[in-house]
């Protein structure tokens, strides 16, 4: 028998998703204590989602936009979450939502809202660095070049998602040397008079 694409309890997960799509009155999807390493796409009508105590889960896929409650605790092998953060959970404390997930590549700070945590996570994944203005500038310069127009490269999505401005100096460059020449020339003109 071939291994199931979702994990140990794969048929259970598939059945839960099928029955949810046909009778989703409450908007609650419980996947607590099931053993799966991947998931099918979530139905858009999910409002409450519980994905806790799963020893096999590695990646949390894109969450439904209308989600209002998320519980993703005690997942010892969870390493990656996929942004963006749904509006309904952006103010929830990330250290509570992702409690006891020691392998997350970026750990939530105490009392950090989920919106900020997802933002940091996406930036860190994209840059391989901490989510700092300099990391975004580096990605911007690597992907678009110094003379590229803003809004054209993959770094622009990261900057927009992070709420940061494009790096300064991406337009016409002025060097100190040229400024010095101008001031020297001006002083010579005033001396000759």
Omega before 84 within 30 of 0, i.e. cis: yes
> SS3 string of 94-123?
HHHHCCCCCCCCCCCCCCCEHHHHHHHHHH
Alpha-carbon distance 160 to 70, whole Å? Answer: 25
pLDDT value of residue 110: 92
pLDDT in tens, 141-154: 655 454 334 454 55
Instruction: Enumerate residues 6+ apart whose C-beta is below 8 A from 46.
Output: 20, 24, 27, 28, 29, 64, 66, 67
pLDDT value of residue 127: 72
Alpha-carbon distance 39 to 64, whole Å? Answer: 13
Which one is predicted more confidently, 76 or 39?
A: 76
pLDDT category of residue 165 using cuts at 50, 70 and 90:
low
pLDDT category of residue 83 using cuts at 50, 70 and 90:
confident
DSSP string, 45-88: T--EEE--S-SS--EE-PPPTT--EEE----TT--EE-SPPPGG
Q: Does the structure show a pLDDT above 60 at 50?
A: yes
Which residues face 93 on adjacent strands?
A: 113
Instruction: Enumerate residues 6+ apart whose C-beta is below 8 A from 181.
Output: none
Alpha-carbon distance 66 to 100, whole Å? Answer: 25
Q: Does the structure show a pLDDT above 70 at 169?
A: no
Q: Does the structure show a pLDDT above 80 at 10?
A: yes
- Structural contact between residues 103 and 125, judged by C-beta atoms closer than 8 angstroms: no
This prediction has a pTM of 0.66
């Amino acid at each position: 028998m071939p291994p199931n694409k979702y994990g140990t309890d794969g048929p259970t997960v598939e059945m839960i998703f099928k029955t949810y799509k046909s009778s989703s009155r409450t908007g609650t999807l419980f996947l607590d204590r099931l053993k799966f390493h991947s998931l099918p796409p979530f139905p858009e009508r999910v409002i409450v989602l519980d994905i806790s105590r799963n020893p096999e889960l590695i990646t949390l896929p894109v969450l439904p936009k209308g989600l209002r409650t998320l519980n993703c605790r005690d997942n010892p092998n969870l390493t990656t979450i996929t942004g963006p953060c749904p509006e309904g959970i952006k103010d929830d404390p990330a250290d509570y939502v992702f409690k006891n997930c020691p392998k997350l590549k970026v750990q939530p700070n105490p009392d950090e809202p989920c919106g900020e945590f997802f933002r940091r996570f996406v930036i860190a994944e994209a840059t391989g660095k901490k989510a700092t203005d300099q990391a975004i500038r580096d990605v911007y310069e690597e992907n678009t070049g110094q003379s590229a127009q803003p809004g054209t490269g993959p770094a622009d999505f990261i900057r927009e998602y992070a709420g940061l401005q494009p790096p300064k100096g991406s337009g016409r460059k002025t060097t100190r040397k040229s400024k010095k020449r101008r001031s020297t020339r001006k002083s010579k003109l005033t001396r000759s008079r």
